[in-house]
A = this chain, B = another copy of it.
Amino acid sequence: MTDQRATNITWHQHHVTREDREKLLGQKGVTVWLTGLSGSGKSTIAVAAEEVLVSRGRLACVLDGDNVRHGLNKNLGFSPEDRTENIRRIGEVAKLFAECGVIVFTSFISPYRADRDLVRGIHPEGRFVEAYVSASVDTCESRDVKGLYKKARAGEIPEFTGISAPYEAPSRPELVLDTNRQSVEESVGQLVAFLEEKGYLSS
């Protein structure tokens, strides 16, 4: 009996592949990494793109501060080491979603090139799209939806990206969404068109 069970136990070992799931979903799994200053429009674009894709029958989701900072990464602070670990974990989770066939948008400032390159490096070729949501500090500060720039200028937020901490713009992003010059609709349209052209919206 024991032998028979042992045989059964190794009988079914066939891992479903990413391709199997992509065929099921009619799309390709990919991490779309939105990076840019606070107020550049990352989350707005991510949420709108998610909505457009789901309305078109594609499975998309967003990883952002709301569902990551208070969950997976709630035990991380804002030291340099913790910021790097924050991005590393998000990258690993995004990779798992992409492997599952999901189109996952991540919305984090992620100011350091090395951190983003590390995330790129764990993804297979073509499964990581770095989308630079480009807006100047002036533009972001003039929006200041959350009042963070005001606080940062007053010295109430230390190491605020763009004011008192650096932002390293991507050197070779797959996509630049220039929100200085175009509306959210235009940026979302550009992003979705890119995904369509590159074949991510079919399996």
Contact = CB atoms under 8 A, between A and B. Distances in A.
Contacts of A63: 96
A63 B8 CA distance: 22
Nearest to A57: B24
A174 interface: no
A72 B97 contact: no
A143 to B, nearest CB: 5
Interface stretch (A109-117, A161-169, A183-191): A183-191
Interface of A, helix, strand, loop or mixed by DSSP: helix
Contact of A100 (B16, B71, B97): B97
B59 A21 contact: yes
Copy number in the complex reads 2
A142 B9 contact: no
Contacts of A67: 96, 99
- A51, A62, A92, most chain B CB atoms within 10 A: A92
A181 to B, nearest CB: 9
A113 to B, nearest CB: 21
A20 interface: yes
Interface stretch (A42-50, A152-160, A194-202): A42-50
A190 to B, nearest CB: 14
Given A100-B59, A101-B59, A122-B71, A8 B185 contact: yes
B184 A16 contact: no
Interface in A1-28: 2, 5-6, 8-16, 20-21, 24-25
